[in-house]
Structure 1
Amino acid sequence: MENKRQFNIRDIVTIGVLAAMCTIATSIKVPFGVGAMVHLGTGFVFTTGIVFGGLYAGLAAAIGSAFFDLLMGFSPYTLWSFVIKGIAGLIVGVIAKGFWPEAKPDRWLVRAVVGCTAAAAWTLGGYIVAWSQVTGSMAVALSNIPSSLMTSTAGFLVAMVLAPKLRKVIPGR
């Protein structure tokens, strides 16, 4: 019988801390262009996926993004964010790093770019559906595409700056 990795208390605590950090990062808004704003939550999700892998990034993104929606009055989006951001974290993490934090894939930078791109595409598609369902208007949903793309682009840039440095200083990553 093969020895499989067990989910332990350290995993739970780390995911809880990462979820709290995701909530905080999502609340940090950065002005972008004329009247547009992006948040740093996507950058956090991408960075977490690259550094910690799919399990940590998926759960931290799901919990942290949903908690942000509850705290900030976006409750109609809570379940949507839980699913969309959770799967986005899982996508970038599994492609860039693997499922568990201990994985050490070759060519991590190429895998990180592909993972972030796939997660951004998933997030955009998921939120188009969410926006159309919550607002009842496909026109409103489609009008949010530029801000989603800006947020994903900013998140990608943040992750490409932070992830290489964090991979060096976080033990076992």
Structure 2
Amino acid sequence: MAKASKSKLVATVGVFAALTTVATVIVQIPVPETKGYINLGDAVVLLSGIVLGPAAGALAGGIGSALADVLSGYAHWAPFTLVIKGVEGFLAGLLSRTGKTALRTLGVLLAAFEMILGYFLVETLLYGVGAALAELPGNVFQAVFGALVALLAGEQLRRRIGVADAVS
């Protein structure tokens, strides 16, 4: 990979991490049972995977979402979020590399399901199954909304930015 391509990749990952942070912080709907919140950041996490590919999508999604937790007063969630959202960005990017719509859709849906499952497991460990079940509808809504936005905008954005080919 040429130096200019590496520079463009680093800059783009940084921009996507920042966009993830902003999308997560700008709209937060609190969930009292787990002291968590529903947000719009998943759309950008999934877009990161589609546009940047698995590794860079994992970095942008994980770092941006964890930073949002820290900035929002949920620092205790940041390590869990880093892993859960990092894996989400990775999975979204993994099958998107093929360029096939059906596989990209499958990758985004698997990534969204991983996010729901990841938070459900951590919430169950931290707060109990009742609280985790209470947050489940919000996580499903967040995942579905994010998946729709990512699938509608992802391929167009990927073509315009042209970074994913450099990291595939």
**How do 1:138-153 and structure 2 match up within 5 A?**
138-153=129-144
Which structure has more relative contact order (CA 8 Å, sep 6+)? It is: 2
Tell me the equivalent position of 1:34: none
CA contact (8 A) 1:124 1:148 kept: yes
TM-score w.r.t. structure 1 length?
A: 0.80
Bigger-Rg structure (1/2): 1
| C-alpha distance 164-14 of structure 1, shift in aligned 2 (>3 A) | closer
Tell me the equivalent position of 1:73: 73
Tell me the equivalent position of 2:123: 131
Per-residue deviation, 1:54: 0.6
Per-residue deviation, 1:21: 0.9
CA contact (8 A) 2:13 2:52 kept: no
> Which of 113, 125, 138 does residue 121 from structure 1 map onto?
113
Q: Distance in 2 between matches of 1:18 and 1:72?
A: 18
CA contact (8 A) 2:8 2:163 kept: no
TM-score w.r.t. structure 2 length?
A: 0.82
> Which of 12, 15, 26 does residue 14 from structure 1 map onto?
12
Q: Distance in 2 between matches of 1:124 and 1:143?
A: 12
Per-residue deviation, 1:22: 0.7
Tell me the equivalent position of 1:102: none
Structure 1 runs of 4+ off > 4 angstroms?
Answer: 4-7
Task: Tell me which protein shows more helix as a share of its residues.
Answer: 2
Q: How many residue pairs are counted as aligned between the two chains? A: 156
SS of 1:73's equivalent in the other structure is coil
> What amino acid does structure 1 have at the position aligned with 2:70?
L
Q: Distance in 2 between matches of 1:159 and 1:106?
A: 14
Tell me the equivalent position of 1:57: 57
CA contact (8 A) 1:76 1:134 kept: no
Q: Which digits, 9 at most, give the CA deviation of each residue in 1:141-172, with x for residues without a partner? A: 11111111100110011112211321332235
Q: Distance in 2 between matches of 1:84 and 1:9?
A: 27
CA contact (8 A) 2:38 2:138 kept: yes
RMSD: 2.3
Unmatched 5+ stretches in structure 1:
32-36, 98-104
Identity %: 29
CA contact (8 A) 2:51 2:163 kept: no
